[in-house]
Amino acid sequence: MGLFSKDIKTMEDLFLHTLQDVYYAENQIVKSLPKMIEKSTNRELASGLRNHLAETEQQVNRLDQAFKALGQTPKGTDCPAMDGLIEEADNVAGEIEDKKVLDAAIIGSAQAIEHYEISRYGTHIAWAEELGHDNVIRFLKANLREEKAADKKLTTLAEAQLNRKAAGTRVAAARMSIAKRIEKPARGKAKKK
């Protein structure tokens, strides 16, 4: 059932479908985070991602409880958006040799994933309120709080050190390149004499 499927006729259908979407997304994140952790070279980043993996597993448990509170069996439905974000993260990380730049890329990819989840949970909370699903709002709000906190931690780590280190690598490489260009003509002139 796609988002614009004829199977979605009511707001209740839409709410359940997107709850299945985020359930699938969270389970995919549980599968993909270990790869991001393994590729991380910064200890603080790897530790933060490990902590978020444990949180994500708890988020899946909360979604299980939300489905049960709605009288539904927990199940996911394909989420092309999350699949794309994870695929992009894998592709970008596979192309970067410089470990400092790789860590910055991992943070950027993780934040793209967090932002998707934040938008989904915000929408779900609004819809749950509108539909009178007060019995699931606390689960959704707890997940949203954790996603926002994870995004804030990633931002702090990126701005405090990892982006600067990654940019420093580029600056250092540019300086070396300039130095080599300046050095070559000087050597050429010396040979002509």
Return the pLDDT at 1.
Answer: 46
- pTM equals 0.81
Return the pLDDT at 180.
Answer: 58
Return the pLDDT at 68.
Answer: 97
Return the pLDDT at 193.
Answer: 47
Rg for the chain (alpha carbons), in Å? 23
Q: How far is residue 83's CA from residue 112's CA, in Å, rounded to a whole number?
A: 12
Q: How far is residue 144's CA from residue 167's CA, in Å, rounded to a whole number?
A: 31
Give me the residue spans of the domains in the chain: 11-163
Return the pLDDT at 144.
Answer: 98
Topology (CATH level 3) of domain 11-163: Ferritin (1.20.1260)
Q: How far is residue 160's CA from residue 59's CA, in Å, rounded to a whole number?
A: 28
80 DSSP 8-state letter: H
Regions of the chain where pLDDT drops below 50 = 1, 172, 193
Q: How far is residue 55's CA from residue 74's CA, in Å, rounded to a whole number?
A: 18
